[in-house]
Structure 1
Amino acid sequence: MPGDTPDRQIPLHGLSIAVVGGNRSTYYAAYWLRLMGYKFDDQSSDAAIVITAGAVDREKANDHPDASALIRLWDFQVGQAGTGIHASAVAGVSSTIGYPDGPGEPLPADMPEKWCAGYGVILALAEAWRRKSEGGGPRSVYDLSAADVMRTFSLQNAGDEAEIARRWRRNGRICVEHGGIFPMGFYACRDGYVAILGRSRRDWRNIRAAIGDPAWARLPKFEDPFMLARDSAEADRLLEETLSAFDRDDLLDRGLAAEAVIAPVYTQDEAGARGIFREGLLGPNGPAMPFLATPISRRRKKTSERRPAIQHAGMPLSGFRCVELCWVWSGPMVGQILADLGAEVIKVEAPGRFDLYRTRGLEHLRGKMHEKTRIESSIYFHSLNRNKLGLSLNLKAPTALLATCDLISQSDLVIENFTVGTMERLGLGPDVLGEANPSLVSLSMSGPGRGSSVEALRSYGLVLSALGGAESKICDESGFLGSPTFSISDPNAAVFATMAALAGALRARGTGTGSAIDISQIEAAATLAGTPVPEATRHETVLETADGAYVAVSVPLKAFKSLAATRAALCALDKAAVRAECLRVGGEMVELVELDVSDASPAFADYSGWVPSSHPYTGEEMLVAAPWRIAGARPATRKPAPLLGESNDYVLRQILELDEEMISALEKHDGETAA
C-alpha cells in the first residue's frame, strides 16, 4: 500500500460547513462529519454551507439567507411532521418486514434518519467541492427527507409494477418466491440464524456442498433453484432441518471453504469477538467510520496534461472526473450519486464481462431476445447508470491497462467493488495508481474489506448486513425477523462510500495528497446499526387498529406510561380515532403504504419519485429519481445510461489522444473478449 498508516478519518480543513440542530437527521449529520474528521469552529453561524432541520411552520423557519448553500433535512417528509418510523411506513420498507398477517415492522436504530443525514453530508461536501473549484457559486437550496431516501432505495431494487405487486411484501424471514431463485432469506440453525443466498445454479451447488450435500438436495426435484423458488415450502423445511445440525460459526467456515453465500446473523458484539471487523472499528463510544484511508505520499514520475472533464453549468461537481470499475448495485450507486451532482463518471466494462445489472430482470430472456438488445434493456441498469459515459476495454490486455492507467491519471477518483486483490492482479493496485496520480482518490468497496478475517467471503447484500449486526436488530415481539426483501447493505455502503470519496477528493484538492480508501460493506452496516441513538423522546410503533388498518404512530413519552400502554390504548381504536388521538397528544400517524401504490400516497403527492428519460433501445421510460430536491425539483436526467462502449471515441481520442494504431489494437482486444 502507498503512503502512511491507514486511518479511519480523513482530515477536512478549510471547509465552511455548519449543522444547525433541531431533529434526528441533523444530529446524525453533525455526528457523521465529526466521525469522519471534520472539526466545527466557533464561527459556524457565518458558514457558507448550512445543514439545518426542515421546518413545517414556514413562519418559524430560518433559511439562513447568508449561506450560499442550504440543505434542509426532514426526518419524515418535506413539509410534513413525523419521524423515521413514518418514513419506514410509507416508503416500501415496513411493507416488507414482518409476516403476511401482521402490521409490518419499521427499521430500528434511527436508520432512516441516519441515511437522510448521510445524504445531507454528501450534498454539503459536493457544495464544498464547488467552492474550492470555482471559488463560489450560486445559492443552492436543497430539501432531503428520510421518506424520499428510503423510497429511492426500495424502488431501485423492486423491479417493475407487476414484480413489485407480486414480490415486494411481507413474508417472514424468507423473500417472496426467494426473489426468483432459491434460496434467499434467513434460516434457523442450531444456535441462531444464518443468511443464505443463491443467485445462480452454481451458488445452489456450493450451498449444498457447504452443508454436506444432503441426500434430499440431490433429488431431481431439488436441482433447479429457479423452479424451487416458485414453490419452496418443502425445500425450505428440509434446508432448515439440515441446518439444525450446525452452529453459526461452523456454517461460516463451511461457507467460506465451499465458496457458498452463507453468513451468520451476529450481533455487533458477537461479530467483534470473532474478528469479523478490522482493527479500530469498535470503540467505547460506538463504531468508527467503516473505511481505512491511507494517504498517498508518492511523487509523480512524469507529468501529463489533464484534459478537463465535461462541464455541467450550475452543478456542484461540474469538472469532477470519476472512473467507475464497478458492477451490480453498491459501487454503481456511488457513481450514480456523483453523476447526478454533475460529475463526469466514466463507466468501464469489458465486452465479455459487462455489469451484470445490464440483464437484471431479463435473465429469463436469454436466447429469446437478441443479446445486444437484452444487455441494453434493463430498467435496473438504466436507473443506476444514468448520466454516465460508457467505455469498453478488455482490462486483461496490456494496451487496455495502459489506457486505463492514463485515464485514471487524469481523474479525481477511481471506484471499484471487486473482490480483494482483483485490482492488483489486473496491474492497477494502489502503488501503480498512486505513482500515476498522487492526488488520486482510489476507493475500494469489497464486501468484507481488505484485511478482514472473512476477506474471501462471496458477498451479497444480505450476508453483509447479517455479519455487520444490522439484521439482528430487526425483530418483532416473537423474536428475530431480519429484512430479507428490503436490502440494507448495498445502498448503505454507497452512502458511506460517497461521503468518504468526496472527503478524500476535498483533501486532495486542498493539499495535493491523494488517498487509497478501503471501505468494508460489513463495517458500513455495523456503523449504521451501532452508532448510538439519542435518548428516546417518543413512543413509536406500527400497529393494527380496531378496524384492521396498519398505521405507524409516534407520540410524546408523556402521552402514555409506556410503549405497551401506547399500543394497548391505540389498538382499541379505529383508524380515524387513532389519528385524532395522536393529534390530541402532539403526535403523528400515517397509514402503512404498499410500495406498488406509493405513488398515490399523500406522503409523495407533491413530488414524484420518478424522472423521465429516453433510451435508444427502450424508448421513453421513467427512472428512479435522486432523493434530493434542489429549488423544489428533482435533478433532471441529462443522458440515459450508456450503451456498452458508447463513449469510446470521446475517451480514447479526446481525453487520451490515442493514435489510430493504438485504438485499433484496443478494439481488436475488445472483439476477442466479446467473442
Structure 2
Amino acid sequence: MVKSMEVAAVGDRTAGLPLDGIRVLDATDRLGAYGGRLLADFGADVVKIEPIAGATLRTQPPFLGDAGEDSLAFGYFEANKTGIRLDLAASSSRETLKRLAENCDVILVTPSTENPVVGFDPVETLLDWAPPGAIVVAITPLGSTGPLRGWRATHLVSCAMAGLLGQQGPPIGPPQVIPGEQMYARVGIDVATTIFVALRERERSRRAGLPARRIAAELSAHQILGSTNFDLLTYAHSSHIPERFTGEVNEYGGVWDCADGEVILITTTARQWNALLGLLGRPAGLAAPEFAEASVRRARCDELTRIVRPLLGAMTCAEVVSRAQEAGVPSSIVSSMADYTSDDPPSSRGFFVDIDVAGRLVRAPGAPFRSSAKLLDLYRSAAPALPGASPAAVAERWRETSPRAAAPTHPVAPFSGMRVLSFGAALAGAQAAAVLADLGADVVKIENPNQPDALRFVAPPAGTPVVREPSGVPTSPNFGSFNRSVRSLALDMTNPEAIALFLNLVREADVLIDSFSPRVLQGWGVGHERLAEVNPQLIHVSISGYGHTGSSKAHHVAYGGTVCSFVGLTRAWGYANLVHFDYVAQGHAVLGAVAALAARDRSGEGIFIDLAMIDAAGSIMGPMVLDWTANGREPVRSGNRVAGSVWSDVLPCGGSGWIAIEAETDADWWALTGAVGWATDTRVVERDADGEPAGFRAALQAWLDDRSPFQAARLLQGAGVPAAPVQNVEDVFRDPQLRSRGEIVEVDHPDLGVCGMIAPVHRLVGDPPRRPRGAPRLGSDGDSVLEQWLRLGHSERDGLRASGAFWMPDQQYKGD
C-alpha cells in the first residue's frame, strides 16, 4: 500500500485521545483486524504481528488496480499500526514476545488449530510470556472451550453457524451470505469495547488500592454474531421459525419499483401504515381498518402489492422519498456505491477522507461517529509494508518511552456506579442501553406513555396472540430482549413538568442515549446544548439515520433497512436487511460511550457523540467502498463465492437443510476433494464453464445427498475443511456450543414468560456471570427512580403524577 512508518512514536496527534499511551500487541487474523484498527484510531500505539510470510489479509480482495498485489482490505483494516513479523507458533519466538510484552498494556490473539500461539492456555486464557499487568484478549470463531472448539470457521461458516446466513436468499436455491465480511468487522467492535471495559477495571482497581488481578477476556465470534440474530428472540418465546427473507415485499414494507429506480418503504407501526396510505391517495382497496394490523398485511400481502405497485411506479424515487419522509415513513432510494459516496450526506458531514494509496489520493470511509471532543484520529499512518519493523526496535522504543498511559485525573467509576438515561427506542438505541445495563449501570428507559417504543408493537407470528401488560400496553419478545435489565420511567415529554423532571434527572446522569431524529429533543427544548448546560460532564450519545449535521436528511426517519439501501448494500447483496445496520450502530454507540467515559476520566468534561447510522455502516464496508473509489468497481453479486478463497458455496444436504463450505487454501481444497472421494492424481484438471474442476460439484453433491448438514460438517471438519450447517433459529437456540459455554440464558418475564437470549458479551475471565433481568413493564419503576435519583418523597411524586408528568402502570393505557 502506501509508505509505512517504521518504529516512530505515535506522536502528538494522539495527545488527549482516550487510549493515548496505551500499547497494544495485535497478533490477530481477519477476525480481530477491525478491533485493532479501532484501538489505534482511539490513540493506542498498536503493533501488528504478522506471520513471516505476511498476514492472510494481504491476499484478500479487492486489490488496488488489476495487479492483485495491494489489498484494499489490508490497507483499510490495518491502518494506523506498526508492523513486525514473527512466527507465533515457534518456541524460538517466546523470548522476543516476552520483551515486547514487558511494556505492553493489551495483547490480542486469535489462536486456532491451524495458527497456534506459543504459550497460550485456552482454558485459562493465559499467555506464559505475558506479564501479569497485561490484558490478554483471545478471539476465536467458536470459543476456546466447548465441544466444537476445534472447528475451523471463516466468515461464511461463522454466519452459517450463527443463523445469519439462512435468513435471506431466493425463494428457491441457497441462502445468501452478506458480502464483504462485515460480520467479522462487527466482532471487532465488541473486541474494542471489551478492551475499554478491561482497561477501566484495571485502573479502578489501581485507584482503589486493590491487589493486582490478572485481567483477560475470551471472546467467541459465534456468541457475538448470535447476539445479532433478531429472529432468535421470537423463537425463544413462540417456537416460531421464520421463513427466509426473499427480498419480496412483506407486511413491514420492502423495496418497490418507481419510474426511475427503486425505493424502500418501511411500515412497522399503524401510524406509519396510515401515513403511507395518505401518500398513496388512500386507495379504496386498502381502506379497511384491519390493514393497520401487520398480521393482516402479512396474510393479504399479494393483494396489497397489486394495489400499491402501480401507484408507486408512476412516481419518481425522489418524489416518493420526499413525501414519505414528510409523513414520517422510513424510506430511502436504493443507492449504488457511486450514489452513496457522492450523496449529501455523507459528503456534507465530511465523512469521506482522502488518503494516499500507492501515490494516489483515494476517498476512504472516515470515523463511525462524530464527537464534540476529539476521540479518534484516523489514517495517521498507512497499513504497514513488508518486511516491517524490527521487533527488537519496537521493544526498545516501548522500553525507553515508559511510563505508558497518563493516569486519569478524575474519579474512575465502575460501571456498577453509573447512571444512564435512555430514550433508546426500537433496536439500536434500546440495545445500546441494555448493553450498558449488562455491564452493571443503572439504566432508566424513558418512554412516552401515549406513544411507547415501536418494538412493543412487533407483530407476533401468525396464530400467536398479542401479549399485553396489565395496563393494556402491548409488549413483544423483541422488546423484552432489547430492554433487558433496564428500569422504566414513563414521561409525557409534552408536559412542562415532565421536561423539568427530565432535566433534574440529567443532572444526576453519567450517560444519555437517544435514537431520535435531531428535531425531537430540540422540539422539547432539551437539545444537546441545553443538556450540556445542565450537566457539563454528561456523555450524550445520539443515534440517528443521517446525523445532526449535513443536509435536510438530518431530520429523515431511518431504520436499519433504509440505511442498508442508502449505503448501497441492498443493491450489492440483493436484500434489504432490516436490522443489520441497527446492530452495527448499536455496537459503535456502546463503543463511543465507553471511549467518551475514558476521555472524561482524563478531562472531566462531557462529550456529545453524533452517530449517523450511514457513517457507522460505511465504516465496516471499507473495502467495498475503496473498490469503488480506487478502482471504479461497483460490487458484483457473487452469492456465496468468497473472493480470495479457492472454493466456497452453500449446498443442499440429504433430507433437508444446507451446508456452508469454504476451502480457503490449496491445502483445504485437496482436503475437501479427498474427504468426498474426488481426489485426483494431478493438479491440472479440466474446468467447466463456471471455472470449477469438471465433475467436482456433481461428486460433492452426491456425497452430501447421503448426509445431514451437521453430519457432513462434522466429517469435513474432521478432515480440516471449514464447514458448518446453515442453522436456523431453532438450531441456534439449542446449539451445543452456545449451551455448553453458558452463552444462552433464559430470563423470566411476568407477561412474556421465559425469554431466551444470548448472554452478555463483554465479560472478563473470572467475573461471575451477570444474569440479565426481564424487561420492565411500562412505567413500573417511576416511584423508585424518582426516589433514588432525585430523593423525591411520596407527596412530591403524587403531585407530579397528578399533573400528568409521569405515568404508572396502575393507570390504563389508552394507545393503539
Distance 1:219 1:654 in 2: 48
Distance 2:471 2:458 in 1: 13
CA distances 1:37-92 after superposition (whole Å, capped 9, x unpaired):
54437866633333321434777453334355332222455523211111111222
Partner of 2:592: 500
Letter in 1 for 2:425: W
CA distances 1:371-390 after superposition (whole Å, capped 9, x unpaired):
52654853322222222233
Partner of 1:636: 770
Give the CA deviation at 1:618.
4.8
SS at match of 1:109: helix
Cα 1:492–1:398 change in 2 (3 A) is same
2:33 is aligned with 1:27: yes
Structure 1 residues 70-109: aligned runs within 5 Å: 70-75=136-141, 78=144, 79=149, 80-109=151-180
Partner of 1:415: 513
Q: 1:252 aligns with which of 303, 321, 325?
A: 321
Letter in 2 for 1:115: R
CA distances 1:614-664 after superposition (whole Å, capped 9, x unpaired):
334455543442345644899432533233334334432333223555333
Partner of 2:351: 281
Highest CA radius of gyration, 1 or 2? 2
Count the aligned residue pairs: 640
Using structure 1 for the length normalisation, give the TM-score: 0.83
Q: 1:227 aligns with which of 287, 296, 299?
A: 296
Cα 1:127–1:11 change in 2 (3 A) is same
Structure 1 residues 86-485: aligned runs within 5 Å: 86-135=157-206, 138-155=213-230, 158-161=233-236, 165-166=240-241, 168-174=242-248, 178=250, 182-211=251-280, 226-277=295-346, 278-283=348-353, 284=362, 286-295=364-373, 317-361=415-459, 371-372=469-470, 375=473, 378-453=476-551, 454-474=553-573, 481-484=574-577
Letter in 2 for 1:20: D
SS at match of 1:406: helix
Paired residues of 1:24 and 1:75 also in contact (CA < 8 A)? no
Paired residues of 1:388 and 1:642 also in contact (CA < 8 A)? yes
User: Which one is further off, 155-164 or 117-126?
Assistant: 155-164
Structure 1, unaligned runs of 5 or more: 1-6, 297-307, 475-480
CA distances 1:415-470 after superposition (whole Å, capped 9, x unpaired):
11122122122232222221222221111112221124322322222112211223
Using structure 2 for the length normalisation, give the TM-score: 0.70
2:692 is aligned with 1:565: yes
Letter in 1 for 2:158: A
Paired residues of 1:268 and 1:530 also in contact (CA < 8 A)? no
User: Which one is further off, 259-268 or 201-210?
Assistant: 201-210
Partner of 1:544: 651
Give the CA deviation at 1:157.
6.3
CA distances 1:327-363 after superposition (whole Å, capped 9, x unpaired):
2211111111111112221222343343333454569
Cα 1:348–1:406 change in 2 (3 A) is same
Give the CA deviation at 1:147.
2.4
Paired residues of 2:263 and 2:334 also in contact (CA < 8 A)? yes
Paired residues of 1:193 and 1:248 also in contact (CA < 8 A)? yes
Letter in 1 for 2:137: I
Structure 1 residues 566-645: aligned runs within 5 Å: 569-570=696-697, 572-573=699-700, 574-575=703-704, 587-601=721-735, 603-604=737-738, 606-607=740-741, 609-618=743-752, 620-627=754-761, 630-631=764-765, 635-645=769-779
Give the CA deviation at 1:589.
1.3
Distance 2:723 2:694 in 1: 13
Give the CA deviation at 1:568.
7.1
Paired residues of 1:541 and 1:554 also in contact (CA < 8 A)? yes
Paired residues of 1:366 and 1:374 also in contact (CA < 8 A)? no
Distance 1:201 1:500 in 2: 33
2:110 is aligned with 1:53: yes
Give the CA deviation at 1:32.
2.2
Give the CA deviation at 1:230.
0.9
Paired residues of 1:469 and 1:525 also in contact (CA < 8 A)? no
Partner of 1:525: 617
Distance 2:600 2:444 in 1: 20
Cα 1:539–1:342 change in 2 (3 A) is farther
Paired residues of 1:346 and 1:389 also in contact (CA < 8 A)? yes
Cα 1:91–1:518 change in 2 (3 A) is same
SS at match of 1:193: strand
SS at match of 1:25: coil
Letter in 2 for 1:606: S
Partner of 2:395: none
Cα 1:248–1:586 change in 2 (3 A) is farther
Distance 2:466 2:244 in 1: 32
Distance 1:649 1:282 in 2: 47
Partner of 1:554: 662
User: Which one is further off, 577-586 or 427-436?
Assistant: 577-586
Structure 2, unaligned runs of 5 or more: 1-12, 48-81, 83-99, 121-125, 354-361, 375-410, 628-641, 670-684
SS at match of 1:465: helix
User: Which one is further off, 560-569 or 149-158?
Assistant: 560-569
Distance 2:16 2:166 in 1: 38
Letter in 2 for 1:259: G
Distance 1:285 1:422 in 2: 33
Partner of 1:301: none
SS at match of 1:51: strand
SS at match of 2:174: coil
Letter in 1 for 2:560: G
SS at match of 1:445: strand
Distance 2:306 2:25 in 1: 51
Give the CA deviation at 1:98.
0.5
Cα 1:530–1:473 change in 2 (3 A) is farther
Distance 2:160 2:803 in 1: 51
Partner of 2:675: none
Distance 1:546 1:616 in 2: 41
Letter in 2 for 1:464: V
Give the CA deviation at 1:594.
1.6
Percentage of matched positions with identical amino acids: 20
Distance 1:113 1:380 in 2: 24
Paired residues of 2:449 and 2:491 also in contact (CA < 8 A)? yes
Give the CA deviation at 1:103.
1.3
Paired residues of 2:420 and 2:444 also in contact (CA < 8 A)? yes
Distance 1:27 1:484 in 2: 24
SS at match of 2:32: helix
SS at match of 2:224: helix
User: Which one is further off, 145-154 or 100-109?
Assistant: 145-154
Distance 2:651 2:461 in 1: 39
Paired residues of 2:659 and 2:726 also in contact (CA < 8 A)? yes
Cα 1:670–1:541 change in 2 (3 A) is farther
Give the CA deviation at 1:271.
2.2
SS at match of 2:445: strand
Distance 1:183 1:360 in 2: 10
